[in-house]
Amino acid sequence: MTDETLHVALILDGNGRWARMRGLQRSDGHLQAQTAVKSVVDAALECNVTHLTLFAFSTENWSRSAEEVALLMQPERWLMTPQQVTHYRDHKVHVTFLGDREDIRLPARCTRWIRSVEEETSQLHPRLRLSVAFNYGGRQEITEAIRRAHLTSGGAGSEHAFQEHLWSRGLPDIDLCVRTSGEHRLSNFMLWSMWYAELIFTKTLWPDYRGSDLVQALDEFRQRNRRWGTAPSSAHPANS
């Protein structure tokens, strides 16, 4: 084990294209995705990743068909099954969710499930903190943090004080972000935390992504020179 903090984020993209390429329904692509989630989480544990954040459902995804949204509001079917939740608990993975929980469009059953997963996996010294961005948007997170800061103290005051109002409060800055499916954009994901993240884009569709792909991404990440705005020969500061 290592005491070094390592925060990896993944944009889960390509479920629909995976299904279309096989003549299947979009729902089939989503249902296949849970295999990728479990494989990546297990690899993160083996690689001593301390924080893993998955972009599962964005605030923009509400514009999809009613049928698709209805499935996505059942994350126990496509994100992590009850058996997987138990597996995470037993392997000291603390699962938390980031996003707008007060959105009236969220079914009560879905919010109850989110709370139950957080409670079941809660532990004092987790090996891995798995954060799921669900009903999440980066701009919305920042806008809501500004509103909360002004309501509670009349202003943010400092970066640290402002961060305490983010949905992602308590998480370190993202070190590495991987996006699957060949798209080259952030799509409103963790805009505050990504300020100096290394980016990797892969053509692999999310249902086909596995822990071995994450290991490869980590190998590439560790070969990069993170300059942090300094000259190439300078050492970068420790992650906060």
pLDDT at 53 exceeding the cut of 60: yes
pLDDT at 10 exceeding the cut of 90: yes
Residue 150 forms part of a structural domain: no
Alpha-carbon distances, residue 217 vs 220, 221, 224 (angstroms): 5, 6, 11
Residue 106 forms part of a structural domain: yes
More confident residue, 124 or 231: 124
User: What domain range is 64 assigned to?
Assistant: 7-141+173-223
111: domain CATH number?
A: 3.40.1180.10
More confident residue, 148 or 41: 41
pTM across the whole model: 0.91
* Local confidence band at 158 (pLDDT 50, 70, 90 cut-offs): confident
Residue 99 forms part of a structural domain: yes
Note the pLDDT of residue 239: 45
In this structure, the dihedral spanned by the alpha carbons of residues 85, 87, 89 and 94, taken in order and rounded to 10 degrees, is: -70
Which active-site residues does the annotation give?
13, 61
Average pLDDT over residues 126-155: 89
Helix, strand, coil distribution of the chain in percent, nearest 5? 45, 15, 40
Note the pLDDT of residue 3: 57
**DSSP letter string, 123-176:** -SS-SEEEEEEEEE-HHHHHHHHHHHHHHHHSS--SHHHHHTTSTTTTPPPPSE
29-33, 75-79, 222-226: least confident range? 222-226
Residues 6 or more apart from 153 whose CB is under 8 A from it?
161
Task: Give how many domains the chain has, as a whole number.
Answer: 1
